[in-house]
Structure 1
Amino acid sequence: MAFLRSALHALWMLVTVVPWALWMVVASLWASGEEMYWKAVRWLRWQVGAARLLCGIEVRVTGMEHLPDGRTSPAILLVKHQSTLETFLMPTLMPHPLAYVFKRELIHIPFFGWAIGRMDMIHIDRRKRAQAFNRVVEQGRRLLAQGVWIIMFPEGTRIPRGRQGTYKTGGTRLAVATGAPVVPVAVSSAKVWPRKAFIKRPGLVDVVIGRPIPSQGRDPDELMREVEAWIEAEMRRLDPEAYR
């Protein structure tokens, strides 16, 4: 049954991504950056809703009250990365538009990549490391000033359930450079949608949003260690079976 449900969800994503992506490419000829963003969020809501209806995946969010207030209040979200689910889920939860920092190669993926390539995100060429970070800071400042929040996965890739990846300091370096606070987020998505897995299983995913951590005057390495400590402690609280 789990295989059938997962197959239906995959089919739903496939049949909806093609017209959605083509519409995004056409709409980019006249729509503003924010309009493009909320068009994308609509498609993401379809996928999260389908995961709930077809696969039995429920989401519980705590800590929304910790998010900064204000139309242009800045924030850099640093999120635990276990699954594709949080990539789809986070924009559907946040009150501000989000800009992902992602590798440039993704925009060449047919349909999905074409669509995100038309949005005001931060795509970087990882072969040019120094230039890539300068680009992140330049675009990050501009987006944060517009009220767009930056979202990054500090481990860099999806991490298997119960494991801890290497937390890279790109997010905290950006925070220190821009003065934006960092908001740590723990997500227990691998319990239902494991890394690189086709089969999804019914269950509850917890999303816990931590209190913003000021970045001004901080050392990026020290700040990332604080983020890492909070996220990993929260993951062990949310999913103790995986960390035995």
Structure 2
Amino acid sequence: MTLGLLIRNLVYWLAVIVLTPLCFTALFVCAWLPRRRRHIFGKSWALMLLWVLEHVVGLKYRVIGQENIPDVPSIICSKHQSGWETLALQKIFPDQIYVAKRELLWVPFFGWGLWLMNAIMINRSDRSNANRRMQQQGLERKRHGFWITVFPEGTRIRPGVVGKYRPGAARMSKQLDMPLVPVAHNAGEFWPRNAFIKHPGEITLVIGKPVYPCDEMGPEAMMAQVGEWIEARQREIGGVGPCAHPDEKQARIALAHSA
């Protein structure tokens, strides 16, 4: 790690320290506003941090498949490798809320902001009640015009590793009649889980064609289709970042040599 990279990351963390209480305190003060109006505070926080990552740290990104975004509220099913996607998805897609673990409510400012921004907070140890909460609150969020973001593997997964794709988002899709939009990306190769240092480079994010609920396909089959698509794209875009899985790095090198 160079001194320049350390300084650029310190600037990013300074931005986090300054912007987080500023934006979310403003959100508290304006909590009386309609849901869609107060959503701007959290989204502004995400966009400003994305700007710092791109223009200070040098962590850029490109989006493939933006034409696949439906024109109706949908459920975003995204790979979860880092904190980057929780910021970037808010810029790439229309106004959205997250399905998140209940423990995040105790994180100062950020967790309280999630609550004020209408996130669906679930207890992951109580699956039956978590699914019921997702369906009930998901319908209410849809009525307000929000998209819903779900990380179907349930937690952040290291690059090159496949988690278990849980069918909760697909159940919600069928019950709420909302398309599933699969999203793959390699952000974890530049922003490892719980890492202080974010590395410069270019993240690739790929948006797939929506999967629409139908009577012929159950939730498990829907999620299997989404998961297979995501993992296929992960293999295509993986192996380029400094924190990539060694196997994916080797596959990328072999592909380059055979070209």
Report the TM-score, using the length of structure 2 for normalisation: 0.88
- Please tell me whether Structure 1 or Structure 2 has the larger radius of gyration of its CA atoms: 2
- The reply to whether residue 45 of structure 1 matches residue 47 of structure 2 is yes
Residue 146 of structure 1: CA displacement? Answer: 2.8
The answer to whether the 8 Å contact 1:188/1:238 transfers is yes
Deviations 1:189-233 (A, max 9, x none): 012111111111110011111000111212111111111110000
Cα distance per residue 1:13-60 (max 9 Å; x no partner):
0111112121111110x2111011122111110000000112101110
Identity %, equivalent residues: 34
The answer as to whether partners of 2:153 and 2:165 remain within 8 angstroms in 1 is yes
Structure-2 separation of matches of 1:150 and 1:216: 19
Equivalenced residue count is 239
Tell me the equivalent position of 1:234.
233
Match of 2:24 among 21, 25, 29: 21
What one-letter code is carried by the residue in structure 1 that aligns with 2:90?
Answer: P
Using structure 1 for the length normalisation, give the TM-score.
0.93
Structure 1: 4+ residue segments shifted above 6 A: none
CA displacement, residues 127-172 of structure 1 (integer Å, 9 cap, x when unaligned): 4322221111011112223321111001111111111111111111
1:3 pairs with 2:6? yes
Greater relative CO (CA pairs within 8 A, separation 6+): 1
Q: Which runs of 5+ in 2 are unaligned?
A: 252-259
In the TM superposition, what is the alpha-carbon distance from 1:240 to its structure 2 partner? 4.3
**C-alpha contact 2:64 2:207 (8 A) present in aligned 1:** yes
**C-alpha separation in 2, matches of 1:25 and 1:66:** 35
Q: Which residue matches 2:81?
A: 82
1:74–1:145 Cα contact (<8 Å) kept: no
Name 1:161's counterpart in structure 2: 159
| Distance 1:121-1:46 versus aligned 2 partners, 3 A rule | same
Letter in 2 for 1:128: D
Q: Is the 8 A contact 1:101 1:124 kept in 2?
A: yes
Q: Contact (CA 8 Å) 1:76, 1:181: kept in 2 or not?
A: yes
